[in-house]
Structure 1
Amino acid sequence: MGPFDWHPHAPLEPLVLDWLNGVELAVLRLDRIDPLISGNKWFKLTEHLTQAQQAGASGIISLGGAYSNHLHALAAAGQRFGFATVGLMRGHPQDTPTVLDLKAFGMQLHWLGYGGYRARHAADFWLPWREQYPHLYPVPEGGGGVAGALGCAVLVEQARGQLSNVGWADYDGWWLAAGTGTTLAGLALAEAGAHPVYGAMAVPDDHGVAQNVRAIAAQGVELLDASRGGFDKVDGALLDFIRTTEQATGLPLEPLYTGKALSALKQQIEAGRFVPGTRLIFVHTGGLQGRRGIKG
């Protein structure tokens, strides 16, 4: 694997909504760093790619579903930077828009079924894949783990360097969706307790987000359930909220992560959780390619 000298910059922009009730909101637009290698996925990959280089690997093997933002970014990066990619897929063969992209980007796919995919946390899961692909470096689902979090820590510095763009001298906290908790753990590591990081969980409690975060960052994180009953649970009220927000601000959202997170913030503000004058940075984690699988 060759050197990676791409260091994308995410703009920080003000976000004005009538329900903020005096709370000031700025959005870190990770969705704008690249049309294909979009969102927080690249930042979660950077340290894994560095470790792969150091190990002398020729590419990456990782896991995800048929609409995986992680695999989409990984495959696009592999095509752009010239390294091999293999995707271990949840479920059975299907040609979703995301899967068609993965194939077009040159990623080799293996469908594990649902039982096979559930075994991904078993101690011996990687053994046969390491034997089949000895020159590829394994990366956890979603680019998670300590390496993924460390790659996201740079986002704190990026945001702090742009506070003048939104007329701020400081801020009071972060707000973002949590799928595995890797990105918010990275923010908490970089903050080291200076500002709290609020994670709106896009998945139910039993998905282990709290445990993942605690294993990486011991302080400065507060989680709340924003899953609306499940990772892929999308209801009419949420879709209406997204449509209304997009019409009012021009900010594109998707219902699995960013839409749920911003809707949860609205509920917290309406419940009086944040007083007027509070300044929050909302991280737009990307994932817009996944909207192609949502009906509504």
Structure 2
Amino acid sequence: MGPFDWLPHAPLESLQLDWLNGVELAVLRLDRIDPLISGNKWFKLTEHLALAQAAGASGIISLGGAHSNHLHALAAAGKRFGFPTVGLLRGHPQDTPTVLDLKAFGMQLHWLGYGGYRARHDVGFWLPWREQYPHLYPVPEGGGGIAGALGCGVLVEQARAQLSSVGWADYDAWWLAAGTGTTLAGLALAEAGAHPVYGATAVPDDHGVAQNVRALVQDGYELLDASRGGFARVDPLLLEFIEATEQASSVLLEPLYTGKALLALKQQVEAGRFAPGTRLIFVHTGGLQGRRGFAT
């Protein structure tokens, strides 16, 4: 099982925006690696797939919500590369655009309700699912854990190999959204202190991002709150910022992660956090399929 020879390429592109005030910004476009298996989710899955193969599993079982980018990428990968997938979903049955895709990709779905989903960290949570699907390998929510982080380390290599395409010899730091903190931890591990990694948290403190990251890496990063009051909390300022950014560039954003992260960067630049001439790599973590959940 597993497309272990498929390593998609994420292009590095300059991004010119009025508010940068002399700060140089390049975007690592994970949203452009593939039409369906998009964003950071594939990189987080690669090491999990290798572990699944080593364990003799034939497929993957994992968790997420009704708009989950992780489950969307997993189901699309399962369909394309021919391995079974099962999704354990938060809440009660609903046909969001994402859920309709999961079904079309052949993922078998189980709805856990909200209480059942909250139990996902309990000891013994996986036991009945392993009994029901003994041939499937369990992957944490969002593709997290050390395996997910290690899979993201290749992003540092990809960005460094393309610095000349944006006219840079080096860079000063990374900036990206943090949902579970797995990708951030992977970058910090790969950097090993060479360049700091800034994570704009898309969820409040009680979602445990700081704890997740500390369990994987001890230093080389900083977390800043970009949640705007809650996960999936969207306000007029954020939507106006996304619209203005898309009008000024070719980069599409979504309001849960990339939009919040880039708006937080704007606020930090305006506060004088980064001096003119600072070179930042912004990781576009994909997730554009989730925009459909906000369509009017």
TM-score (norm. length: structure 2)? 0.99
| Residue 213 in structure 1 maps to residue 213 in structure 2 | yes
Distance 1:211 1:145 in 2: 12
Q: How many correspondences in the alignment?
A: 296
- 1:112-151 matches, within 5 Å, as 112-151=112-151
Q: Cα deviation per residue 1:136-162 (whole Å; 9 max; x = unaligned)?
A: 000000000000000000000000000
Equivalent pair of 2:37/2:76 in contact (CA under 8 Å):
yes
Q: Cα deviation per residue 1:238-270 (whole Å; 9 max; x = unaligned)?
A: 000000000001210000000000000000000
Distance 1:139 1:293 in 2: 24
- 1:216-255 matches, within 5 Å, as 216-255=216-255
In structure 2, the partner of 1:289 is 289
Distance 2:60 2:14 in 1: 37
Q: Cα deviation per residue 1:7-55 (whole Å; 9 max; x = unaligned)?
A: 1000000000000000000000000000000000000000000000000
Matched to 1:87, the amino acid is G
Identical positions, percent: 86
Distance 1:4 1:161 in 2: 21
Partner SS, residue 215 of structure 2: helix
Structure 2 gap segments, 5+ residues each: none
1:4 is displaced (CA, Å) by: 2.4
**Are residues 239 and 2 of structure 1, via their aligned partners in 2, closer, same or farther at CA, if it must alter by over 3 Å?**
closer
Partner SS, residue 265 of structure 1: helix
In structure 2, the partner of 1:29 is 29
In structure 2, the partner of 1:153 is 153
Equivalent pair of 1:150/1:186 in contact (CA under 8 Å):
yes
**Are residues 257 and 3 of structure 1, via their aligned partners in 2, closer, same or farther at CA, if it must alter by over 3 Å?**
closer
Matched to 1:176, the amino acid is L
TM-score (norm. length: structure 1)? 0.99
1:219 is displaced (CA, Å) by: 1.0
**Are residues 147 and 2 of structure 1, via their aligned partners in 2, closer, same or farther at CA, if it must alter by over 3 Å?**
closer
Equivalent pair of 2:40/2:152 in contact (CA under 8 Å):
yes
Partner SS, residue 263 of structure 2: helix
Runs of 4+ residues deviating >4 angstroms: none
Distance 2:153 2:208 in 1: 21
Partner SS, residue 164 of structure 1: helix
1:295 is displaced (CA, Å) by: 4.3
Partner SS, residue 62 of structure 1: strand
In structure 2, the partner of 1:104 is 104
Distance 1:205 1:114 in 2: 20
Distance 1:141 1:27 in 2: 26
Distance 1:11 1:34 in 2: 12
Partner SS, residue 216 of structure 1: coil
Distance 2:229 2:212 in 1: 20
1:5 is displaced (CA, Å) by: 1.4
Matched to 1:65, the amino acid is G
Equivalent pair of 1:4/1:81 in contact (CA under 8 Å):
no
Structure 1 gap segments, 5+ residues each: none
